[in-house]
Amino acid sequence: MAKATIEALLARKDKGGLKTKEVHVPALDMDVVVEKKPLSVVAGFFDDMRSDMSFSKSIEIYQELIYTCVPIFHDKKLQEAYGCIEPYDIIPLVFDDNVMAIQALGNEILSMYGFDEIIQNVKN
């Protein structure tokens, strides 16, 4: 195991880390680009999810998380074509109300932040 040094940590910073990730969405049979947002933003979604475990609230939070992290859903022309009233409405419309697909993409986004184990614990 390598010892942490200032140089090693600076080199790690210069690599930039994961800023975007292409994620395959089977329900759409397409890849979407997910942007990594600041941890404080994503942690807020996770806090909301843990504070209200109702099904409807968790779907609402996943919609907001996906909308926040997947820039293609911000397109006004796309939202107009789907008849969105609120910007977040695009998510269930594009996914044909497929709850499992919405949850899967939301969990994929959360996994970019290392929430995998916490997600498993919340499910159980």
pLDDT band at 103 (very low <50, low <70, confident <90, very high): very high
Residue-range domain boundaries for the chain: 19-123
pLDDT value of position 51: 73
Helix axes 99-111, 39-51, angle to 10 degrees: 130
Helix ranges, 15-83 (H) = 39-51, 55-69, 76-81
Q: Give the pLDDT score at 114.
A: 86
Q: pLDDT for 4-35, tens place per residue?
A: 878 877 777 666 666 889 999 999 999 999 99
CA dist., res. 58 & res. 46, Å (int): 10
Q: What is the pLDDT of residue 15?
A: 64
In the chain, which residue ranges form alpha helices assigned H by DSSP? Answer: 6-14, 39-51, 55-69, 76-81, 90-94, 99-111, 116-123
- CATH fold group of domain 19-123: rbstp2171 (3.30.2220)
Mean pLDDT of the chain, nearest integer: 86
Whole-number pLDDT of residue 53: 73
Q: Residues 61, 45: contact at Cβ < 8 Å? A: yes
